[in-house]
Amino acid sequence: MSMENNQSRTVYDDDIVKKFIYAALIWGAAAFAVGLLAATQLAYWQANFNLEWLTFSRIRPLHTNAAIFAFGGNAIFAGIYHSSQRLLKTRLYSDSLSSIHFWGWQLIILAALITLPLGFSQSKEYAELEWPIDIAITVIWVIFAINFFGTIAVRRVKHLYVALWFYIATILTVAVLHVVNSIEIPVSYLQSYPVYAGVQDALVQWWYGHNAVAFFLTTPFLGLMYYYIPKAANRPIYSYRLSIVHFWSLVFIYIWAGPHHLLNSALPDWAQTLGMVFSIMLWAPSWGGMINGLLTLRGAWHKVRTDPIIKFLAVAVTFYGMSTFEGPLLSIKSVNSLAHYTDWIIGHVHGGTLGWNGFLTFGMIYYLVPKLWNTKLYSQRLANNHFWIGFFGILIYYISMWASGITQGLMWQSIDANGQLAYPDFVETVIKIVPLYYARAIGGSLFLIGFILMLINMWKTISLAPKGQDEQQVDMSNITMDEVAGTGHRKLESLGAVFTVLVFIAILVGSIIEIVPTLAIHKYLPDANKVRPYTPLEQAGRDIYVKEGCYTCHSQMIRKLDFDVIRYGEASKLEESMYDRPFQWGSKRTGPDLARVGGKYPDMWHYRHMIDPREITPKSIMPAYPWLDNKKLDYQILRRKLSVMKRLGVPYDDETVANADIIAEKESLELFNALLEQDPSLENIKDTQIIALISYLQSLGKK
Amino acid sequence: MNQSNENDKLMDHDYDGIQELDNPLPGWWLMTFYLSIIFAIGYVMFYYVFGGPNSDQELAASMEKIELRRAAVAVTGGDEKDESVLVALTSDSTKIEAGQKEFLVKCMACHGNQGQGLIGPNLTDEYWIHGDGSITNIIAMVNTGVPEKGMPPWKDLIQPDMIENVALYIYSIKGTNPPGAKPPQGNKIE
């Protein structure tokens, strides 16, 4: 008899939803604050307080990871768990799995918060976390998947609503992306080398990086949109057919677009072409979501004036439309040659994250909290103020980054009548945009201030809510599984497993076609072109370059563009990075490209520049790295590092591997002696990390 | 859309109270999608079937144009001044001041704020490692640099006029013996 009771009544697990909302709010504050700190340092480099843990290159990955996976992740989990239970008319599959999912995810975030500022980083964007944390992410994600698909399995509703399609695509694809991009071999408890090198690593990483945007910041939020917009506006979805067409086209096309992050680079042309044309074809599928969201609001537009929830949701969808128009535009090779490596990309990303992800999450939480705590929102006025302050914050952010990116991009490419660069001195192009960095920091502050108003509003709402209420039982007696499965897509919606397999196939096609050919690419390089591997000391220095996060501001990829070649030298070739694990092509040039910096300046220049960049370039905005000349280099581990590299196919002979530490020590001593001869006061820098770093920098472009 | 119309389009299912309308795909949206697909096919055809240039060819073509511009300048330029003309210019204080200003931005890092030498050699004494310390020679050195010793060529980074100013400034500080001057390197030039 108890079975029947269970089936006629159910209690939704709202406790887990509340927990994820708390987590999203708390980590959101942290993510935005760290972002503001990073932004402030670009305007005023001293804002790292001369601490390595707070220096831009260490906290930039912390900001992106916290914003995407801590704020975004917890918000997604809250929304998915809340809406799925209601769409499937059942409690979540397992309370224990929900709980492990929640606490496991928070521990992962905590681990990121500790390891990233300490410099434990793989330097792969949005995948910086080191291998033990990668494994934890995989485990927790699988637990989330079991809990979600388990809930689908025990559902009381035969057909899956469009929001659930997007959740399925999210869970499946993020798992594939994370696992494939994180195949790495550990060299110590907190360091590893990826199995991919150079161009392969670049392609796999940007397949991952781009689709993290697609399947962590787009599809789950579209799913949330499909639930919370019709709920909050009390309106039917505009077009069921549009949902079907834009869902499948989005999922199929998105996965191909990754190479647009590598346009004009050494990546083979065919892959660049695929990345570009699929990005352009992605425009309409993306806009399908925007149209369906905005037209669902038809008949509820009057609420935009009065209801802060609708305000947030409507503007979020509008920002989504803007970003997904700008994305294909930026993927056109010629536009990209102007915008890539500049702040335009930063503006583009923040239009999406602050506007779309941020505002959709805020709208959802303003909707959910009063419902879950069975009360009213404490203050509509505060919520409206949050909206306007946040909105102007985003506008200032976006506009200042547009201006900065386009200004700097134009200065970089400007060639005068004599065939010379009009702005040959890189720092000139930086000085020009520093005022815009201040403006951006103001925009970011406004966004954060608005969010603080939300925190106050939420805290008040929750603390004034009636206490000690029982969880509500929901009557399920009149819910019966519809036996009519329908035909065509309607039928597919009733077949959870088949639907999931089809999504899997859709995302696999593009992935395989783009990635598999590059996996063997280095084998086909003519032997004459192959370069020598890094010496032990250079490899040690490279690991420091990675650890410090130099890639956050410096690229190592001279594009096949005249102005890049004139400024930095011959265009980068595939073979030059064939032993680079991880690749360091970079995605942003806050400072100049370093692909051919080797031999350009004396060792002493590099030493003094790292200790105080302004001693060399008075207006430089680069942070100083004074800790590098008092931290000793670990020679011992180099044997292990080189043996891992050898296993991965780098042609070191056994002798070099066995004596890696001794060879490195000798190289280091030579470099040290030469520096000491020029400046006897440097006697203390023997065996320090800076010597290895200089040795690496001097090898760039020299192999 | 009026209410009765909308009710006609309501589909016969709902999810947790959410209903869906059976509206067709917007025509302009569909058109955008088709056009983007046509563009994609056309783009691929142009570059991979009809012989459009590859990225190396495109780069070579644009570099060639720039080389032509540079060659034109090299022909029309070539107004190298005699040493005596240059020495006469050292009395022009505006040129010396401009040279000093540029020196403090570009050269100070290696040669010190008063040319006393740091990473690079002292520029105020009578000893020269490369050449004879004449203004012509200093201009040539600044242009080509000494890459093997770590001095970059400045030819493309500083305008020719300004290189002349910097050379005049360097010539003008000979014998100033600034504090902390680096010991002599190279050959003594009388």
What residues pair up with A185 in beta bridges, in sequence order?
A193
Look at residue A276 in the predicted model and tell me its pLDDT. 97
Assess whether pLDDT exceeds 90 at residue A518: no
**B45-93 pLDDT, tens digit each:** 999 999 999 999 999 999 999 999 888 877 665 567 888 888 888 889 9
Give the distance from CA A540 to its chain's centroid: 27
- Identity of the residue numbered A325: F
Cβ pairs bridging A and B (under 8 Å)? 155
> What is the overall mean pLDDT for chain A?
95
The H or E element that residue B11 is part of is strand B10-15
The DSSP code sequence of A549-563 is TGGGT------SSHH
The CA distance from A667 to the nearest CA of chain B, in Å, is 19
Assess whether pLDDT exceeds 80 at residue A4: no
Q: Is A278 on the interface with B (CB under 8 A)?
A: yes
* Average pLDDT estimate for B5-22: 88
Are the Cβ atoms of B17 and A231 closer than 8 angstroms? yes
pLDDT level of residue A5 (50, 70, 90 thresholds)? very low
Look at residue A67 in the predicted model and tell me its pLDDT. 98
The CA distance from B101 to the nearest CA of chain A, in Å, is 12
ipTM: 0.91
Exposed/middle/buried for residue B51 (C-beta within 10 Å: 0-12, 13-18, 19+): exposed
Look at residue A2 in the predicted model and tell me its pLDDT. 35
Contacts with A421 from chain B: Cβ below 8 Å: 156
Are the Cβ atoms of B54 and A288 closer than 8 angstroms? no
User: What residue of A is the nearest CA neighbor of B7?
Assistant: A236
Are the Cβ atoms of A298 and B1 closer than 8 angstroms? yes
Contacts with B30 from chain A: Cβ below 8 Å: 284
Look at residue A349 in the predicted model and tell me its pLDDT. 97
Q: Which residue has the higher pLDDT, A525 or A320?
A: A320
Contacts with A280 from chain B: Cβ below 8 Å: 36, 39-40
Cβ atoms of residues A174 and A507 within 8 Å: no
Which of A159, A415, A560 lies at the smallest CB-CB distance from B55? Answer: A560
Are the Cβ atoms of A424 and B156 closer than 8 angstroms? yes
**Tokens encoding B50:** 């009809």
Contacts with A238 from chain B: Cβ below 8 Å: 21, 23
Instruction: Provide the 3-class DSSP secondary structure of residue A192.
Output: strand
* Average pLDDT estimate for A164-175: 98
Helix A283-296, helix A269-281: angle, nearest 10: 20
Contacts with B48 from chain A: Cβ below 8 Å: 270, 273
Please give the torsion angle defined by the CA atoms of residues A677, A681, A682 and A683, in that order, rounded to the nearest 10 degrees.
Answer: 90
Which of A297, A560, A603, A610 should one mutate to test binding to chain B, selecting the residue with the greatest count of B CBs within 10 A? A560
Q: Which residues contact A682 (CB under 8 A, 6 or more apart)?
A: A607, A672, A675, A676
Which of B16, B73, B157 lies at the smallest CB-CB distance from A87? Answer: B16
* Average pLDDT estimate for A308-315: 97
Which of B66, B110, B158 lies at the smallest CB-CB distance from A415? Answer: B66
Q: Is A37 on the interface with B (CB under 8 A)?
A: no
Look at residue B110 in the predicted model and tell me its pLDDT. 86
Give residues 120 to 139 of B whose Cβ lies within 8 Å of A: none
Assess whether pLDDT exceeds 70 at residue A350: yes
Q: Is A478 on the interface with B (CB under 8 A)?
A: no
* Average pLDDT estimate for B87-104: 90
What residues pair up with A473 in beta bridges, in sequence order?
A11
Q: Is B119 on the interface with A (CB under 8 A)?
A: yes
* Structural domains of chain A ordered from first start: 2-229+239-470+497-512 (1.20.210.10), 536-699 (1.10.760.10)
- Identify which of A71, A82, A116 has the alpha carbon closest to the alpha carbon of residue A354: A71
- Identity of the residue numbered A504: F
Sign of the alpha-carbon dihedral angle for A346, A350, A353, A358: positive
Q: Is A238 on the interface with B (CB under 8 A)?
A: yes
Q: Which residue has the higher pLDDT, A456 or B110?
A: A456
Are the Cβ atoms of A283 and B32 closer than 8 angstroms? yes
User: What residue of A is the nearest CA neighbor of B110?
Assistant: A605
Q: Is A476 on the interface with B (CB under 8 A)?
A: no
Assess whether pLDDT exceeds 90 at residue A70: yes
The proportion of chain A whose per-residue pLDDT surpasses 70, expressed as a percent, equals 99
Instruction: Provide the 3-class DSSP secondary structure of residue A450.
Output: helix
Instruction: Provide the 3-class DSSP secondary structure of residue A506.
Output: helix
Exposed/middle/buried for residue A564 (C-beta within 10 Å: 0-12, 13-18, 19+): buried
Q: Is A213 on the interface with B (CB under 8 A)?
A: no
Are the Cβ atoms of B15 and A284 closer than 8 angstroms? no
Q: Which residues contact B121 (CB under 8 A, 6 or more apart)?
A: B111, B127, B129, B182, B185, B186
Q: Is B75 on the interface with A (CB under 8 A)?
A: no
Are the Cβ atoms of B22 and A678 closer than 8 angstroms? no
Q: Which residues contact B129 (CB under 8 A, 6 or more apart)?
A: B121, B185, B186, B187
Are the Cβ atoms of A418 and B17 closer than 8 angstroms? no
Instruction: Provide the 3-class DSSP secondary structure of residue A591.
Output: coil
Cβ atoms of residues A648 and A194 within 8 Å: no
Give the start-end residues of each E strand in A177-331. 184-188, 191-194
Are the Cβ atoms of A240 and B17 closer than 8 angstroms? no
Which of B5, B119, B149 should one mutate to test binding to chain A, selecting the residue with the greatest count of A CBs within 10 A? B119
* Average pLDDT estimate for A271-299: 96
Look at residue A473 in the predicted model and tell me its pLDDT. 82
| DSSP assignment letter at A471 | P
pLDDT level of residue B154 (50, 70, 90 thresholds)? confident
Contacts with A424 from chain B: Cβ below 8 Å: 156-158
- Identify which of A311, A300, A298 has the alpha carbon closest to the alpha carbon of residue A362: A311
How far apart CA A471 and CA A372 sit, in angstroms, is: 10
How far apart CA A1 and CA A564 sit, in angstroms, is: 76
pLDDT level of residue A571 (50, 70, 90 thresholds)? very high
How far apart CA A140 and CA A100 sit, in angstroms, is: 8
Q: Using alpha carbons only, what angle is made at residue B56 by residues B53 and B57, rounded to the nearest 5 degrees?
A: 40
**Tokens encoding A348:** 């583009």
Look at residue B159 in the predicted model and tell me its pLDDT. 82
Look at residue A679 in the predicted model and tell me its pLDDT. 85
User: What residue of A is the nearest CA neighbor of B25?
Assistant: A242
Q: Classify strands B18-21 and A184-188 as parallel, antiparallel or unpaired.
A: unpaired
Pick from A2-11, A219-228, B100-109, B111-120: least confident: A2-11
Which of A286, A416, A605 should one mutate to test binding to chain B, selecting the residue with the greatest count of B CBs within 10 A? A605
Look at residue A478 in the predicted model and tell me its pLDDT. 74
Look at residue A468 in the predicted model and tell me its pLDDT. 75
Give residues 563 to 582 of A whose Cβ lies within 8 Å of B: 565-566, 571
Look at residue A1 in the predicted model and tell me its pLDDT. 32
Termini Cα distance of chain A: 77
pLDDT level of residue A487 (50, 70, 90 thresholds)? confident
